[in-house]
Structure 1
Amino acid sequence: MEIDDVEETESEEEEFFECSSEEMASDEISSTRQLKAKHLLWNKPTGRLAKHPSLRLNQTGDPLYLPITQDPVPKTEDQLEEDAQVMMQLGTDKYASEMRARMMSASLLSDMESFKAANPGAVLEDFIRWYSPRDWVDDDGIDEWGQGKGHLSPRMMIPDNPWSTTWASAQPVPAHRQKRLFDDTREAEKALHYLSSKRIGQVAQLLLPSLTHAALHTLSSQKQEALPSLPDVAQSILNKLQFATKPIHQKLQLYEEITRDIESVEALVAQVNSLQHKLGGNDSKEFTSFLIQLMRGKEVSVPGGSRGDIGARMTTMFRDAQKVAHMMTSASNTNNDATNAARDGRHKTFPEPSCKEFILRAIMPRPSPASTPQPQRLYACLKRDHIRLAGFFSEDTTFM
């Protein structure tokens, strides 16, 4: 029985039948549908994010779907700089190019696997059109699916290039089933181990960039009309801070200079705030100009004199300072209210002067009464232990 069965199958395989072109076309369509159905049974699309508005797959004509991919690995500035140094040290030969491709292939492999899972039946050309449009060269005309024709760039056509080899090894795996590109647990353990191996001083040194930026941000948020150059000074300190935080190995000398600059500016801001609080000034232009001149260390005339608001507050400040300076420390004297009241009444508004200055100005003829009158000036400084005189005298030399 088995021999007869074999002979019958062989005879059936040797029989040929002719059919028309229409029948052949219908048979091809049905066969492609069957193949597509069989293909979808074992490779169903997963991990789709959205449908591409225009692109279709080159071989099947199905719409191209954007895959759900893993987020890129976050890296700090020092890690990026280390990676750049490693890339530069590799050189420019073929071996260096292969090493760069291997270092960057982890993310590329993940994206290819996600793309394959979202688009069954896709080829490398489909991935390149979506992932790296620069490597897809458009040609004239359109294909059978109604989209523009094209071909891969020359670098993608190199035999056994990293893109083609990675595509060949990629499997249709959605992103949620892939190995994580960034393992946050492992990275956290590495960070904790790194911090535990450092001394307290080294940990404080690591905090210098953040603390300095926070101090500068707080300083730049201060808005004082009496310090019009404050934003420019803060910007100059920021430029210096950016230069200091860029290298991996910190330079403490730069941070010391930046700290001194911030300290000096902070002292000026504190002085302006203190003067505004003590003098009770408003936001008028007159009071702002008064503060600007006062901060520059010049002799300033008080607006309104002693009868103005600023003058009255300054007088009260000096009177309170005199009371504090002459307070009695003895307990017996402090209990005598009458004595204290009498002594408070004897307190002067302003303290005793350390010196007295006099400036005498006159216009008189010298050296003779018939000479032209000329300006004369005499400065006198009287202190407890000495007297200082400085004169400025002019003479008419026309008829000498």
Structure 2
Amino acid sequence: MKTITLIHHLGRLSGRMQAPGNLWLEMWRAAKPVVAWRQKRLFDDTKEAEKILHTFSSLRPAQIATLLLPAVFHASVHRLLEELPSTTQLPDANSNCRAAIAKIVQIARNYPLELQQYEDLLPMLQLVECHLAQFNSLRCRMINYENWETVDDFVTRLLIDKNVSLPGGSHCPAGNALLKALESLHKKDASSRLPPPVKKEFILRTMAHRPGNGSTSSCQKMYCSVDEDSIRLAGAWTQDILFH
């Protein structure tokens, strides 16, 4: 038969805290129990919230815009990530977005906010946006003519390598789409063209001090007419007659 012995260790104050006349011990004995809802709050969250709202109401529009910059840049990166194609990887797109997010978090922890640090992020985001616009433009031009499964990979290689080989030349789907896309770029719409100009007219206006630098500024005008057979020039000059 096994005997189990239970040992209870009760907590107690140290000898220094139990010394006669200890201030903490006397205050504990004199304290009266008070229900929680009647106790004074150590932190008045309503008052602190009012302070924050008062601070916001006193900010100028430029200061409010500065405080919103971290959220605006986060939303910009999130939108870029949403627009990136899921079937392929654009050059340095995901890495630039991750680097931008890490940089935004680092900048947002510093106070006061420095606008120059946010301006340094713009080229990184602009590069991703430029690659995305080029990808969508090329893909749209090619998908309208030929629908093949490797269109995204082909467009991505065009953006990365610039020089891409086409097995089969112009007879393959990619080559056929490229030819038609180039033809559409050089195609001229005769209905939208205007006839050549019969005459061109130019009018120059300025203000000048005549006849001297101390004269009052007055209006000056020059007219020029150019056609196939002749050129006509005319001018209207004014000057100050009171103060020469």
Shorter-chain-normalised TM-score: which range? 0.5 to 0.7
Whole-angstrom distance in 1 between the partners of 2:107 and 2:66: 13
Whole-angstrom distance in 2 between the partners of 1:322 and 1:219: 32
Matched residue, 2:81: 220
Go from structure 1 to structure 2 and tell me whether the alpha carbon gap of 1:142 and 1:257 turns closer, same or farther (over 3 Å shift): same
Name which of 272, 276, 296 aligns with 2:139: 276
Matched residue, 2:239: none
Over the matched positions of the two proteins, sequence identity in percent amounts to: 35
Whole-angstrom distance in 2 between the partners of 1:311 and 1:142: 88
Matched residue, 1:391: none
TM-superposition CA deviations, 1:339-362 (whole Å, max 9, x none) = xxxxxxxxxxxxxxxxxxxxxxxx
TM-score of the pair, normalised by structure 2: 0.59
Residue 288 of structure 1, CA deviation: 4.3
Residue 208 of structure 1, CA deviation: 0.8
Verify: 1:149 aligned to 2:10, yes or no.
yes
Larger radius of gyration between Structure 1 and Structure 2? 1
Go from structure 1 to structure 2 and tell me whether the alpha carbon gap of 1:251 and 1:160 turns closer, same or farther (over 3 Å shift): farther
Higher relative contact order (CA 8 A, sep 6+): 2
Name which of 101, 112, 116 aligns with 1:238: 101
Matched residue, 2:62: 201
Whole-angstrom distance in 2 between the partners of 1:324 and 1:155: 99
Go from structure 1 to structure 2 and tell me whether the alpha carbon gap of 1:292 and 1:149 turns closer, same or farther (over 3 Å shift): same
Q: Is the 8 A contact 1:306 1:312 kept in 2?
A: yes
Residue 258 of structure 1, CA deviation: 1.6
Name which of 164, 174, 179 aligns with 1:300: 164
Matched residue, 1:321: 185
Whole-angstrom distance in 2 between the partners of 1:214 and 1:231: 15
TM-superposition CA deviations, 1:171-197 (whole Å, max 9, x none) = 533444444455454334323321222
More helix by share: 1
Matched residue, 1:261: 124
Structure 1 gaps, min length 5: 1-139, 332-400
Whole-angstrom distance in 1 between the partners of 2:30 and 2:72: 48
The runs of at least 4 consecutive aligned structure 1 residues that moved more than 6 Å come to 153-158
Matched residue, 1:84: none
Q: Is the 8 A contact 1:226 1:288 kept in 2?
A: no
Code of the residue aligned with 1:266 in structure 2: it is E
Go from structure 1 to structure 2 and tell me whether the alpha carbon gap of 1:305 and 1:179 turns closer, same or farther (over 3 Å shift): farther
Matched residue, 1:73: none
Residue 259 of structure 1, CA deviation: 2.4
Whole-angstrom distance in 1 between the partners of 2:109 and 2:23: 39
Whole-angstrom distance in 1 between the partners of 2:157 and 2:57: 53
Whole-angstrom distance in 2 between the partners of 1:155 and 1:282: 86
Residue 249 of structure 1, CA deviation: 1.3
Give the number of aligned pairs.
Answer: 185
Q: Is the 8 A contact 2:96 2:124 kept in 1?
A: no
Residue 241 of structure 1, CA deviation: 1.8
Q: Is the 8 A contact 2:88 2:152 kept in 1?
A: yes
SS at the partner of 2:187?
helix
Residue 160 of structure 1, CA deviation: 4.3
TM-score of the pair, normalised by structure 1: 0.38
TM-superposition CA deviations, 1:53-103 (whole Å, max 9, x none) = xxxxxxxxxxxxxxxxxxxxxxxxxxxxxxxxxxxxxxxxxxxxxxxxxxx
Whole-angstrom distance in 1 between the partners of 2:49 and 2:26: 33
TM-superposition CA deviations, 1:364-392 (whole Å, max 9, x none) = xxxxxxxxxxxxxxxxxxxxxxxxxxxxx
Residue 318 of structure 1, CA deviation: 2.9
